[in-house]
Amino acid sequence: MKPPSRTADGLLLVAILGGMFLAMLDQTIVGTALPRITQDLGGGELYTWAVTAYLLTSTITVPLYGRLSDVYGRKPLLLTGIAVFLVGSALCAAAQDMNQLIAFRAVQGLGAGALIPLSLALVADSVPPERRGRTQGAVGGVMASSYVLGPYLGGVFTDQASWHWVFLVNLPVGLAVLAVIWRHLPAGARMPDAGRPDYAGITVLTAAISALLIGLTMKGVDGHVWSDPVVTGPIALALVLLVPFLMIERRAAQPIMPLRLFRNRTYTLVSIASFFSAFCLFSAVVFLPRYFQEALGHSASTSGLLLYPLMVAMVAGSLLAGALLSRTGRSRIWLAAAAVSAAVGSLLFTRLALDTSLQVMSLWMVLIGIGIGPMLSGLTLVIQSAVRPADLGTASSNITFFRQIGGSVALAVAGSLYADTLGDHMGRGLHQAQAAATAAVIPGLAVVGALATLAAVAFLPPPRTAAATAPTRDSPLTSRA
């Protein structure tokens, strides 16, 4: 069989990363467009649900796609996810009211749940262990770019064209990605005795995560506080559902989240680190644009430009960490250094005031970005090196799953802290209060997240050898079905 060309391999890798970029971009690009969307469609009281609907369905489906791809192969699951994502994007652009937009965002999220974990798994499938660090550094750079470019692009499309383009831009890029993957990605191996999917586990996990995210989202909506039943009820239900879920997973032939993986010390510690690293990521990416727009009065697109020090540092940190991990194999020291950098940069934001210069803020953002970047690429590399090749899809999806759950918890806590601090400082004026709220939220969340991440990575065991992690299935970029 004729071997694939280097050009085809490169094109396929770009397409895989492009699909992941689109899925992550849509987590943040809508935020700066939402004010204009609610003006056109009405339903201002449903404002947050346009974001929550996407986050909910994309989070729920992450472990499902990851596990099923380990069993049935990456290609059919990835093609399905891209197709559903594009259909959802087209429907969002055509929405006539907020209820339709929320429903279509949920459809979009159902497809997006495949794009991030399967892209991570395909990179691990395709790249030899000795080169995986550099490649994962590039993956982390793509992730970092999507988080920070989202608010800027959302502002540009809204200011210069129409909010509909926030969704329409996915179509040409997504169709090109779909065509390349259809043409060049091999079908891959599948388990001959896969058995029946874990339908019971899927159902209970879906109900638990839905309840958790709904409860967290209701905090702050219409003035709800943590003690209100609409907040505590769904969260309590999510905790209760953990019991039957664990019982189901212990007995399932093909569990959606294999509990045996948590006996792997590296897997457990990286999952914890991924959860808490989201505190650093989301506090900076969400609340800095809000400060630039509300406290300083900049436009949506300008606020995105002001985030460039953070974005560039995140990309640089991810690439640097990938190269260092690949060259030295010493994950603990570099991940620990990244966590310290994020903690220091976040702590400096306690000094934020309206008269803080952009040059000084840029330095603080660089320290945070250098810390966040390695967490995006390095943690993925460590967890993929610690599991069997047959579990790569599951491991890659679960690190994304825990990061998104951590982000949801962080945003709920941050929203409450922001509102409380804003109210306490209103006597000093609105803009001063907004600066004080930002100065409380970023250090309050990011420092805790960075220190918890530091504690987790400090106990990581030495990495496994490259031979232990060498792929056993055909490499998608080096073979054809």
Q: How far apart are CA 43 and CA 103, in angstroms?
A: 13
Q: At what angle do helices 49-72 and 34-41 cross, to 10 degrees?
A: 110
Residues 284-301: pLDDT tens digits?
A: 887 888 888 888 988 777
Scanning 161-264, the segments in alpha helix (DSSP H) are 165-168, 170-184, 199-218, 229-251
Instruction: Supply 355's token pair.
Output: 């008269």
Higher pLDDT, 176 or 392: 176
Query: pLDDT-based confidence at 451, cuts 50/70/90?
Result: very high
321-378 per-position pLDDT tens digit = 777 776 776 778 889 999 999 999 999 999 999 999 999 999 999 999 999 988 877 8
Judge whether 158 and 300 are in contact, CB under 8 Å.
yes
- Enter the pTM of the model: 0.78
- Count of Cβ atoms closer than 10 Å to residue 191 Cβ: 12
Q: Which residues contact 403 (CB under 8 A, 6 or more apart)?
A: 274, 275, 277, 278, 281
Q: Could you give the percent of the chain with pLDDT greater than 70?
A: 86
Confidence of residue 472 (pLDDT cuts 50, 70, 90): very low
- Residue count of the chain, please give it: 481
| 136: pLDDT strictly greater than 70 | no
DSSP 30-48: TTTTHHHHHHHH--GGGTT
